[in-house]
Structure formats: C-alpha cells, structure tokens
Chain A
Amino acid sequence: MKIIVCIKQVPDTNEVKIDPVKGTLIREGVPSILNPDDKSALEEALRVKDNNPDTHITVLTMGPPQAEEVLIEGIAMGADEGILLSDRAFAGADTWATSNTLAKAIERVGDYDIIFCGRQAIDGDTAQVGPQIGERLGIPQVSYVEKFFVEEGTIRVHRALEDGYEVIEGKSPILLTTIKELNEPRYPSIPGIIKAYREDRIKVWTVNDLDIPSTDIGLDGSPTQVKRSFTPEPKGKGEMLEGSIDDKVQSLVKKLNEKNLI
C-alpha cells in the first residue's frame, strides 16, 4: 500500500506569548513544531505500516527550507521519504493556492492508495486544505476521522460528529482528514533521527517540478488575502452579579439600560 501524508510546520501556539506593551503576538523565538493533527495523520499511516511492512509512506509539505525539519521528524517516526515543496513562488498562498500546489505534487507522485491529512493546522485553523486536495484530485474524502480500519481493500472509518459518529466505508484511493482522538502519536526514534539526517531521503521540488501555472500558486493564485492583522481589544473584566434571582435580574436590566443595549 502507498500512503501520502500531508504535514505542516507550525509555530507552537502553546509557546506564543503576547507583548505586554504592543499587545501583539511575539513570534520571534517561538519553536516550530509538526502540526499536532498532522502527527495523528502520520501515526495512523505508520500503524498501517506496522501491520504491513511493505507499506510505503511519503510525507509531503509545502514551506520554507526550514520546513525540512518536520519531514525529518516524520521520517524519524518511520516514514520512508519526504517531499518538500519550497519555492518563493509558493509563498503567500491561501488554502486555495496551497491545495492546488499540494494536489499537483500528489499527481506527480502518482501512485497512492490513501492520503492522510490532519484536520487543521493550529496556526490557521481553517480545516480546508485536506478536503480541497480531495476535490482537486477527484477522489472520495472523509473528514474528522476518529477511527480507522483497513480490511482487504476496504477502508472503514468513524467520522466524528458533535453527538456521535458516522461509519463510512470506501475504497482507495481516498483522502482522510484525521483528528487527535484517532491515536497517540509515537516519538521519533533516535536511530531514525540520525538516519533521516544522514541519508538523503528528502526531495525538494520547486515550481519547475510541478505542472502548474504561476497564476494558480502563491500570493497570485490566492483569491483570499489577509487585509490586516490585529489583536482584538481585551474585553475587560467580567462582573458576577450577586444576590437572589430577582436582584440579579433587576441589576442586569438596569445595567443594560445604562448602556442603551435594551
């Protein structure tokens, strides 16, 4: 079986601090990590490989040269090879241009049975790229996968819903987006880290390696653009109303009146 896992390097948002003076995010010195949902996606692929050692896993990412680090981590966890899509022309991509680029790269890889994507990246939280890749490739897709089974060519998943789950069966090729409830990702192995750095298992593809017009990638290929970033004004301290229900209601109505809200 051949599996492609789409992964992303993201800033560790747990480590992001707010500049107390400017009120903006301090991005300098924030460690980069492999996006948590993507790690679950990779772990599930690795479990397929644990049971069928002839499974081949490719980890794929788009990003600046230093995004190589998440491919190394993926290979150190057990993936066979990595592809880094890195070119200034890819920069500034929104989800539309990103999924375009990733889908073209996957077409170039060609032979695959399953594509695993993490549900969403913790820096953008869009959850759009996975499903868009599926659409572009014209293959079936299931999002929010919380359980995964593969038996004799049939893929069965539990798709998480707010109040339960759906059981969905499909055949490969298929794209699945995974959530962290799916599994507990393994650590990279130490020999894996050393091999990943010393063996040449990462290919770097630029725009010239993909059959894609420049109008479909990067900033130019992005129909949405960030107009302005800002930190929302702090809401101020909440106030807990005390007393009996009647007291609280009266005091609430009075306050809302004062603010001309009712």
Chain B
Amino acid sequence: MNFNLNKEHKMIQKTFTRFTKNEVEPIAAEVDEMERFPKETVEKMQRFGMMGIAVPQEYGGAGGDELAYVIAVEELSKACATTGVILSAHSSLGCWPIQKFGTEAQKKKYLVPLASGKKLGAFGLTEPNAGTDAAGQQTRAVLEGDQYRINGTKIFITNGGEADTYIIFGMTDTAKGLKGISAFIVESDTPGFTIGKKERKLGIKGSATTELIFKDMMVPKGNLLGKEGQGFKIAMQTLDGGRIGIAAQALGIAEGAMEKTIQYVKEREQFNRPIGKFQGLQFMMADMETQIQAAKLLVYQAAMAKSEGRPYGKLAAMAKLFASETAMEVTTKAVQLHGGYGYTADYPIERMMRDAKITEIYEGTSEVQKMVVAADILR
C-alpha cells in the first residue's frame, strides 16, 4: 500500500499551496469581516483552470481525479474556508450531477461553461420544511406543454446569488413521495427566479448563502436532469460526493489551524520559555496532529474510492464525520493554545473555529453521516 501522492498530485498541491499563500490568505480576514464574496479569487481560479479539476478535458475541465480536487479544496481551506466551499459547492454540487446524469447536449451547454469557470454552479435541495428530511419537498414542478412551471422556495443555498447555473429539485408527482422528486438545471436569468434573503452566519461569512424563490418560473423540458422521479436519487448521490469536498474543507481548516498553532507555541514565551516546551500543551498538540492525520487518511481514501469507481457512500460519510469533528476540536484547542490572543480577530484562529462548525452541519449533519454509515454496515 502506498500512501504517497503521485507527481501529478504533488504538483497540483504545490500550485494550490502557492496560490493560497499569495492570493487567498492575504484577503481571508477581510472577506470574513466584510462578509464579502471573493469574486476576484474565483476569477483568478478560472484563469488557471482550477474550477473544473475533476471534469474531463472534453467538457472544459482539467481532467484530474477526485484526489486532485480534494487537495485543491484542502489547500484553499487551510487559509480560507469560504474559498474552499465556493470551489466545493461549485464542483461537487454544480458540475458533478450534470457530468453524471446530464445528456450530451446538457453537458455541452451547461457543464462546459461551469468546468471552464466561466460560470459558477450551485445546488438547491433544502427548503424551510425539508432539511435532513429532504423528501418533504414543497417546491412543485408542473409540466405544461414543453415547459415546467416551477413554484417554491429553497433556503441556505451556497453560492446563491453568485452562481449562474443551479441544480434544483421539486416535486413533479406529489403522490409518489420520494419517487416524485425531479431535478432541473436552472439558469439564474430565468424569468420568475429571484434571490431572497441573504443569511448572516457564524462562519464562512464570505460564502454567499441565500434563499432562492421560484414564482411561476418556466423551465424548458430539456432542462430536466435525468428522468422525472429520479431527483431524490440524483440528490443523494450528489451529496455522497459533496461530502468528500466538505471533508476536505474540514481537513484543510484543521491543518491551517495546526500550522498557525505550531508557529505560535514556538514564539510565545511565558515563564521564560516558549509555551511549546510545556508538556501539558505538547500532549494537546500531539492529539490534534494525530486526529488530523487520521482524518486525512479517511478523506483521501474516500476520494480514491470515488476516483476508481468503487462504492464510496460510507467512506465519504465517515470521512466527513471524522474530518468535521476533527476541525471543530482542533480549532477549539488551537484557540485555547493561543490564549487571549486566539480569541481576538488579530489572529486567524477564532475565524477558523467559527468556520469549522458548519462542516458538522451542511451536506448532511454529523448525525446524518452516522445514519449513512449505520445503514451501510447493517444492510
């Protein structure tokens, strides 16, 4: 068994490390404070082919694999979890369902501009009354001639208002329950599509999280993704992959906090020596590092399974569960190790702790991940 990255992955990692250090880290604090979507970073990422890493080159992507994509989200999230989730939501939730379930015509029309970064993608499943219980969809899509009339509201949509192309879900047959849900590709300029409330959040403040409102929105029949009634399956499979991206984000947050903490305990002196010399703190840091490495193995394992076409639902759920809890624990301890300074906005640690929390919640809470794992092992 070989735990080394190959040359291609190493070069991609090196490039993202440098990109993050030069382009992402310098604005991370300001993006958080101003709750500002970092458009300029997305534009730069487009220029260097970073928006379609795992999409084949024939569809405008870079032609890399899932691990390359995971490394990218991880590196970005070391300095800025907002930037990490912009890429993750765009790739896993925007591009992937079209790549997997789209027709050739849909891929040409919608995937190519997404993968090349000309357009940004998003995913709309959650509703005010349909969170973890996604089957409770109240959005209705009614076929009228060659168009669907869609009415409903989505909430907490990552990249909302910034994205151009949305994968949205609605009931086409209310009598069929889960099997009555369908998926649609919807462009932001579709008449009847408006952006509602923009959420103010604890963390990932630069990431746009909004409500989507569909009022008599007419969507061509050709924008149905997959077949009528396949929506729930598409959503669940998409989220299986999305979890790998979020797991990578969580891993990156933890690693970023760890790097800053190692540096800090070597510099900060109390009782005439660096605080890193105290065994009590060393033990804390040894635990943090061990957890991070364990999370990394789970995340990379899930990514490799997806790349190689093996089943990855359980692996992705375990990776996200463990990595997100690691991110929360490591960043909380990192604040502790920074003491009073860690609690101030002069250091990035408090932001990392705020950012970490969402990874335990979105794209399936930790409890949902446990349900997925349990369902798999008790099958």
Contact = CB atoms under 8 A, between A and B. Distances in A.
Do A and B bind?
Answer: yes
Contact of A69 (B7, B63, B64): B7
Nearest to B7: A197
Contact of A193 (B12, B18, B19, B61): B12
A63 interface: no
Interface string A69-85: 10011001000000000
A72 B48 contact: no
B155 interface: no
B274 to A, nearest CB: 15
Interface in A46-94: 69, 72-73, 76
Q: Which of A73, A190, A197 has the most CB of B within 10 A?
A: A190
Q: Which A-B residue pairs are the 7 nearest by beta carbons?
A: A191-B62, A189-B49, A190-B62, A191-B49, A190-B49, A197-B8, A189-B48
A195 B50 CA distance: 14
B15 A190 contact: yes
B8 A193 contact: yes
A194 B62 contact: yes
Interface string B1-24: 000000110011011001100000
A79 to B, nearest CB: 15
Interface of A: 31, 69, 72-73, 76, 186-195, 197-198
Interface of B: 7-8, 11-12, 14-15, 18-19, 47-50, 53, 57, 61-64, 68, 72
A8 to B, nearest CB: 17
Contacts of B49: 189-192
7 contacts: A76-B11, A187-B48, A188-B48, A193-B8, A193-B12, A194-B8, A194-B57
A76 B8 CA distance: 11
A72 B9 CA distance: 13
B245 to A, nearest CB: 16
A165 B14 CA distance: 36
Given A186-B48, A197-B7, A191 B15 contact: no
Contacts of B57: 191, 194-195
Contacts of A187: 15, 18-19, 48
Contacts of A73: 11
